[in-house]
Chain A
């Protein structure tokens, strides 16, 4: 069960030729796969390509009709290895993951795949998690394409171009016997747009046919001497074949313009931003018509020497817009121009940022610098009110930037606001079951001192941020336990590492737990089991509790851990029990037992739980059933305004408000209506002996007659006593 249901979007996967598809980029790509006669799809979820996986998971019926096999891989390595089905058989296969992290994991299989080459089209769709909103290290997939000689597509970010890139990718792969990476940027994946669909196609050659007629060719296997042969084949046959295909089918695009003595060369994915940057300088309109000629590289690897030469021929200067570093393309272009003896000046990172996202503003400024140097006459005269129109047909109201005095006012205000506007680090959701684990860890450390804590990838990584501020490193998905491997030495303090259930099944079982057992590791490993791969959108994994028609779930982590030889295992089956969590961590840190100490802390991801429980609850209430809803509250007159509870919890629903009491200057804690009644705040207040201001309110919907009778009885006695005391207070009130 994924975070979002795509049942509605799935219907768009059925539309036929001539019909218009409207929706998100990544869904258009999914439709394109079906239109291309793909035989199998696999992958590992992660932003920004999770939706591709989730849609296909919800589209089981359509996939079965078409005879397409879909699989959620254990990891990106598994996904990449899945493409082996296209090595010997003419079956189109596609796999997907988040890059560059997923590509790192997959690179062993990818390298082997690229070495032997493929028969059927093999497409790797990567979501390039780069720039604003990214959650990973900033690197380029480009390097992987170069090192293994896999062709890299970076299409213009509109649905039509992305869909075409899928079809082109399969054909290019088949024409050159080489796997192809289709790189999609975050905003491209999430862009809403439209394209005209084609009919879905059944795969021409099926997986069944392959199994029933097995084939092998030792020359396609990466073993000497074939491996040496592969390297020669790559440069002598596959590369030229790819170049030929790309040129003949015009995968890269040329757009002409009247300022013919200069030009721009750009990665396809940057196209929309470049057009806007040009438009802001009065050199393009909003339909892609540019006064400067453009060479758009929808294929960014390999670079097509001929195309570069013919574009640059006769130009005074060209500007290359290449996002990210190192500047592989720029280096390549320089070689091409030098070898061809073309003296066109090449600008790139000399006017554009060396590192970081190419925002529209960054590209506009880079373009301006380039033009000032090589074609100043094209530039509108900025900073002067009432600029002369560069192109009279077009509205150029936006051409001029705010006059200087405005800019100063902005700066002043922006600076003032910087002191006010608070940062908003990502954090645990309301009611998250992982929060109490870190509260427990905090309390345990208060007792036993600070320890070395290694973190992992997943929602639990938010423990690194305020208010917990826990954890020293994060080395990769499922590598929490591995990243404390060196600390396997006698010490008065044991190392602690964290791992999520997603990371555990991704590779942590072998690389972390198995490794710890084998090397007689003495530290503590906390596995956080929230029943889903939660950070990627709540997909099922082997230990998920839900019944899944297409996957085998309910495989307990504890069995796996014991299976690889861990002796000391404790399961905390309700993470909200902060005291028990604290006690378990303290026990693990102090026990005399040798070998890894594994704590499995389990409670369901609250986001997913609420999605399941809330509608059911509301339905039951509507049907008149007696239902009890729990939520928490704080008595403002009891709360001291110290906020220690917030520092130990950080729940979004645990907020602050003015005390309304002139004697209390500081705001008091307050639980807002988003509270889901997980009970963490009360448990923390109890475990940390904070203050008695927390209460849990049980709201009884549709109370039974017995409830009502009891309530009346209680109300009468309690009401009498309350009135008595109120009268006493009233008596001498002021």
Chain B
């Protein structure tokens, strides 16, 4: 016999989305649009548990009705995308676009890739101790290389602006990309037929359409750099003006922007005198830096210290939290963040849970210490701080309490917490100074170890304990070869888990020969 094969090739579309993003809605829209334009459409999916935040693929194939007529029987379309055999890939999030590339759905000869550039971080990225965010530009680079045409812009933001959802802006981007043989009217009629939130969807559709229609041939890289403050020419107050001038005159340009950020933090944390103290500490470090070869190393020590000396001096205490929570700018920011309209009122409830340690910390040193040293007193007072304090900062009683607490900044220097922090600061500065005499690079790493100290209560205690272990390691590593890189490895290990198990395991290995 002779088998006769018929002409007619379907358009193959894969949609990659996360559960709840409306990938199914988008697939339904494409099917509905195609069927109304006299096409044969088939869509499949494997929702399963992916409905609950996981990633999933919706797959659509479209065949012109004319081809079906010519063949005389319905088409047999595939139930899943095949690597290397997809015409249009739509990703509702950047890393899902990356997943499409990784799975081979995109090929240079035929695949148009449309991906939103926004990120919805995976739980692994969010839960990391430090910065676990994946590099978005790896996906952009791969997309530019592999796709026939790559559209990449923030379709989530466009949808948000329009008060709609991403499926609408994605639908618009498909239309604007011109990758499917349908007219804009076909798309818009589909949205109207769906009949839910039509106007907002049409706005989002229009924005997506415009973005795709006017997109560059290849998307630009995403700017992931973190801008540093620019030094102002002058300052209002004569004494801050003088500090600014000293900063410009006495410190290397490499460290100036970070020092400016640090100085600003110090000033708002306490007062002018405290700013002066910061500059004094920095001057000591700059001198050490110059003495031990900093000029050849782009002043790495001063630059690193610029950040961490400021962070160490402007520690997180109850006074600072109360101050930050009661500022006018903060009230405005909250309104914006929750999207409150002009005629709506916004009240915030603060979830504070100071422990007895924090309370003692804000007391005059002698008093705080007395309580901490007396188990009976601690037990008695501790009872009052077992429960969290939920304060409503928009009411008068709540606000005044926090405001008064913030006003305690003028007594801060006499508090127990300040004494503790200053001792820690001085020990650390001494360690830096001792280290730099022998090993410049290790001294820089000692500075960076301060990254571990952050947060409040339990978080602070955990971080501080890791930091203590690291500083101990630093003094033991002193004198050994590549001590700096070994300390850096230990610091990375300290960020790997909560309790510092990995750090302990590595420490044991690292320091055994030294013992």
Q: Which residues in A have some Cβ–Cβ distance to B below 8 Å?
A: 22, 47-48, 129, 131-135, 157-158, 160, 186-188, 190-193, 256-258, 260, 271-273, 275-276, 280, 284-291, 359-361, 364, 391, 393-395, 397-398, 401-402, 406, 409-410, 413-414, 416-429, 459, 462, 465-467, 535, 631, 633, 635, 637-638, 640-644, 646-647, 650, 652, 654-656, 658, 661-663, 665-667, 673, 682, 685-686, 688-692, 694-703, 707-708, 711, 714, 717-719, 721-723, 725-726, 729-734
Contact of B145 among A160, A258, A285, A413 (CB under 8 A): A413
Provide a sorted-by-A list of 25 A–B residue pairs whose CB atoms are within 8 angstroms.
A48-B48, A134-B46, A158-B76, A190-B44, A191-B43, A280-B82, A289-B71, A360-B80, A413-B142, A421-B139, A633-B334, A635-B324, A638-B324, A640-B454, A642-B463, A652-B120, A686-B388, A697-B347, A698-B347, A700-B347, A714-B394, A718-B396, A731-B237, A733-B235, A733-B237
- Residues of B contacting A719 in the complex (Cβ-Cβ under 8 angstroms): 328
Task: Add 18 more A-B contacts to A287-B76, A402-B109 (CB < 8 A).
Answer: A187-B44, A191-B44, A272-B76, A276-B77, A361-B82, A413-B145, A422-B122, A426-B19, A466-B127, A633-B348, A662-B257, A663-B258, A666-B129, A698-B346, A698-B347, A717-B399, A725-B406, A734-B235
**In the complex, A700→B99 CA distance in Å?**
42
> What's the Cα separation between A190 and B28 when bound, in Å?
12
List residues of chain B with CB within 8 A of the CB of A465: 123
A721 to B328, CA, bound (A): 9
Chain A residues, Cβ within 8 Å of B232? 734
Q: A257-B3, A413-B146, A695-B349 are in contact. Are A421 and B99 (CB under 8 A)?
A: yes
A364 to B243, CA, bound (A): 73
A732 and B43 contacting across the interface, CB-CB below 8 Å: no
Minimum CB distance partner of B103 in chain A: A414
Q: In the complex, are the beta carbons of A662 and B228 less than 8 A apart?
A: yes
Min CB–CB distance A115 → chain B (angstroms): 34
B271/A685 in contact, CB under 8 A: no
- Cβ of A158: which chain B residues have Cβ within 8 Å of it? 74, 76
Supposing A410-B104, A655-B126, A686-B351 touch, asked if A187 and B456 sit within 8 A by C-beta, the answer is no
Which B residues, 205 to 246, have Cβ-Cβ distances below 8 Å to chain A?
226-229, 232, 235-237, 239-240, 243-244
Q: Choose among B46, B101, B349, B406 the residue that contacts A414 (Cβ–Cβ < 8 A).
A: B101
Cβ A192 vs Cβ B31 within 8 A: yes
State which of B6-14, B173-181, B287-295, B419-427 sits at the interface with chain A. B6-14
B361 proximity list for chain A (CB < 8 A): none
Across the two chains, which residue of chain A brings its CB closest to B455? A640
A725 to chain B, nearest CB (A): 7
Binds A, one of B337-345, B362-370, B471-479, B506-514: B337-345
Contacts of B235 in A (CB 8 A): 733-734
Docked pose: A506 CA to B272 CA in angstroms: 69
**Across the interface, which residues of B come within 8 angstroms of A686, CB to CB?**
351, 353, 388, 390
Tell me if B353 and A429 are in contact (CB < 8 A): no
Asked if residues B349 and A192 are in contact (CB atoms below 8 Å), the reply is: no
Q: What 4 A-B pairs are tightest by C-beta distance, nearest first?
A: A133-B46, A640-B455, A422-B122, A722-B328
CA distance A701 to B457 in the complex (A): 36
Contact of B4 among A191, A271, A289, A666 (CB under 8 A): A289
Tell me if A287 and B8 are in contact (CB < 8 A).
Answer: yes
Interface residue? B264 (CB, 8 A): yes
Most buried by A among B49, B139, B268: B49
Q: In the complex the two chains form, is A426's CB within 8 Å of B54's CB?
A: yes
Q: Would you call A667 and B338 a contact (CB within 8 A)?
A: no
B-chain residues with CB within 8 Å of residue A272 when the two chains form the complex: 76-79
Which segment of B130-138, B376-384, B434-442 sits at the interface?
B130-138
Q: Is the CB of B98 within 8 A of A695?
A: no
B321: chain A residues at CB < 8 Å are 638, 692
- B149 to chain A: closest CB distance in Å? 17
Closest residue on chain B to residue A691 by CB atoms: B456
A426 B351 Cβ-Cβ under 8 A: no
Tell me the chain B residues, 56-104 only, with Cβ under 8 Å from chain A: 56-57, 63, 67-68, 71, 73-80, 82-85, 95, 98-99, 101-102, 104
Contacts of B68 in A (CB 8 A): 287
Tell me if B148 is interfacial: C-beta within 8 Å of chain A.
Answer: no
Given the known interface contacts A133-B46, A286-B75, A689-B355, the answer about A644 and B498 at a Cβ–Cβ threshold of 8 Å is: yes
CB atoms of B95 and A421 under 8 A apart? yes
Indicate whether A689 sits within 8 Å of B95 (C-beta atoms), given known contacts A418-B102, A656-B121: no
Q: For B430, what are the chain A residues with a Cβ–Cβ distance below 8 Å?
A: none
Q: Could you tell me which residues of chain B, from 103 to 129, have a CB within 8 Å of some CB in chain A?
A: 104, 107-109, 120-129
B240-A697 in contact (CB<8A): no
Instruction: Give B17-53 as 1s and 0s: 1 = Cβ < 8 Å from A's Cβ atoms.
Output: 0111000000010010001000001111111111111
CB pair A286 B47 closer than 8 Å? no
**Contacts known (A258-B3, A286-B9); A421 close to B134, Cβ less than 8 A:** yes
Check if B138 sits within 8 Å of A723, measured CB to CB: no
Please, which residues of chain B bring their CB within 8 A of the CB of A257? 1, 3
Report if B307 contacts A (CB, 8 A): yes
Contact B76 A426 (CB under 8 A): no
Contact of A695 among B74, B265, B316, B350 (CB under 8 A): B350
Q: Whole-angstrom distance from the CB of A83 to the nearest CB of chain B?
A: 27
Given contacts A663-B310, A665-B451, A667-B131, is CB(A288)–CB(B457) below 8 Å? no
Q: Check B267 for interface membership: any CB of A closer than 8 A.
A: yes
The closest CB in chain B to the CB of A290 belongs to B3
Most chain B C-beta atoms within 10 Å of own C-beta, residue among A290, A665, A688, A732? A732
Residue numbers in B under 8 Å from A359 (CB-CB): 80, 82
Contacts A466-B127, A633-B337; A47 near B48 (Cβ below 8 A): yes
Contact of B54 among A275, A391, A413, A425 (CB under 8 A): A425
Q: How many residues of B contact A (CB 8 A)?
A: 155
Interface flag for B403 (CB, 8 Å) = yes
CA distance A687 to B82 in the complex (A): 49
In the bound complex, residues from chain B placing their C-beta under 8 Å from that of A289 are 3-6, 71
B331 touches A722 (CB 8 A): yes
Find out whether the CB atom of B126 lies under 8 angstroms from the CB atom of A646.
yes
CB-CB < 8 A to B334: which residues of A? 633, 695, 697
- In angstroms, Cα B346 to Cα A391, docked, is 70
**Distance from B461 Cβ to chain A, minimum over Cβ atoms (Å):** 10
Give A688's nearest chain B residue, CB to CB: B458
How far, in angstroms, from A726 to B122 measured CA to CA in the complex? 39
Q: A190-B47, A631-B338, A695-B351 are in contact. Are A722 and B456 (CB under 8 A)?
A: no
Q: Nearest chain-B residue to A723 (Cβ)?
A: B328
* Cβ of A505 to closest chain B Cβ, rounded Å: 21
Contact A692 B353 (CB under 8 A): yes
Q: Which residues of chain A come closer than 8 Å to B264, judged between CB atoms? A: 733-734
Distance of A715 from chain B, by nearest CB (Å): 9
- Set B43, B133, B328, B330: member contacting A667, Cβ < 8 A: B133
> Cβ of A635: which chain B residues have Cβ within 8 Å of it?
324-325, 330
- Say if the beta carbon of B260 comes within 8 Å of chain A: yes
- A466 / chain B contacts, CB cutoff of 8 Å: 123-124, 127
Residue of B nearest to A394 (CB): B5
Please indicate the chain A residues that have their CB under 8 angstroms from the CB of B316 in the complex: 638, 640
Chain B residues near A135 (CB, 8 Å)? 48-49
Q: Would you call B54 and A420 a contact (CB within 8 A)?
A: no
In the complex, how many angstroms separate the beta carbon of A298 from the nearest chain B beta carbon?
A: 15
Residue B327 at the A interface, CB < 8 A?
Answer: yes
Closest chain-B Cβ to A511's Cβ sits at a distance in Å of 24
Contact A690 B458 (CB under 8 A): yes
| Chain A residue with Cβ nearest B352 | A692
Asked whether A673 and B339 contact (CB < 8 A) given A467-B123, A701-B344, the answer is yes
Closest to A729 in B: B268
Question: How many whole Å from B300's CB to the nearest CB in chain A?
Answer: 16
- Does B485 sit at the interface, judged by CB under 8 A? no
Q: Is the CB of B260 within 8 A of A393?
A: no
Report the separation of the CA atoms of residues A708 and B344 in the bound assembly, to the nearest whole angstrom: 9
Across the interface, A429 reaches (CB within 8 A) one of B53, B237, B346, B349, namely B53
A402–B84 touching, CB < 8 Å: yes
B480 at the interface (CB under 8 A from A): no
A551 CA to B102 CA, complexed, in Å: 48
